[in-house]
């Protein structure tokens, strides 16, 4: 359900309306942040998608839960397609990967680094104080990731947490992208 008034002739594109009529400067900056995440992350596509998918589950954002970077990225940011984006950072996850993300503690199909990115995203989204203070977790992170990769992951997750929650809370996640209407993804 939309939580702000969107004219009926724009109900199919609440993001576009909000970006043009309500808060253009903020929406433009949010779009630039999101675009930078997808264009410049150095994480492998599977690491990136594991963290992104877990964040989507926690946020409740329907668009984000249905989104697959390798498949959908070209339709989100006009002009960038999927070349020179995170979609180039290794093989795309299959649907079994996405289905197992919420069971990351017991699933056997994730690499140790993928487990850490999913765990990071979960703690970032649910208990950032625990994440900041958990020395055992940070020992594992630092043994597996460079400082640049950790900073990369933190900014990616920050983008998804913030913007995914905006989409869900305002009700934009039900209508605003072509793949959002297809629950099969």
| pLDDT tens by residue, 87-127 | 999 999 999 999 999 999 999 999 999 999 999 999 999 99
Fold of 11-181: AhpD-like (1.20.1290)
Express each pLDDT in 3-43 by its tens digit: 999 999 998 888 889 989 999 999 999 989 999 999 999 99
pLDDT band at 49, cuts 50/70/90? very high
| Average pLDDT of span 174-178 | 60
Q: Where are the domains of the chain?
A: 11-181
Residue with tokens 């940011």: 77
pLDDT of the residue at 96: 97
As a whole-number percent, the residues of the chain with pLDDT over 70 amount to 90
């Amino acid at each position: 359900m939309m939580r702000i008034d969107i004219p009926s002739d724009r109900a199919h594109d609440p993001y576009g309306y909000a970006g043009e009529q309500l808060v253009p400067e903020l929406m433009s900056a949010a779009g630039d942040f999101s675009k930078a995440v997808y264009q410049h992350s150095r994480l492998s596509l599977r690491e990136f998608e594991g963290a992104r998918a877990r964040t989507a589950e926690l946020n409740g954002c329907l668009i984000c839960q249905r989104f697959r970077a390798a498949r959908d990225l070209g339709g989100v940011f006009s002009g960038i397609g999927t070349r020179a984006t995170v979609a180039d950072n290794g093989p795309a996850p299959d649907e079994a990967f996405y289905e197992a993300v919420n069971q990351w503690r017991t699933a056997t199909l994730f690499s140790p680094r993928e487990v850490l990115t999913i765990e990071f995203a979960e703690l970032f989204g649910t208990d950032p104080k625990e994440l900041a203070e958990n020395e055992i977790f940070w020992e594992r992170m630092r043994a597996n990731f460079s400082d640049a990769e950790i900073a990369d992951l933190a900014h990616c997750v920050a983008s998804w947490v913030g913007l995914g929650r905006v989409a869900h809370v305002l009700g934009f996640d039900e209508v605003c992208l072509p793949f959002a209407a297809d629950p099969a993804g």
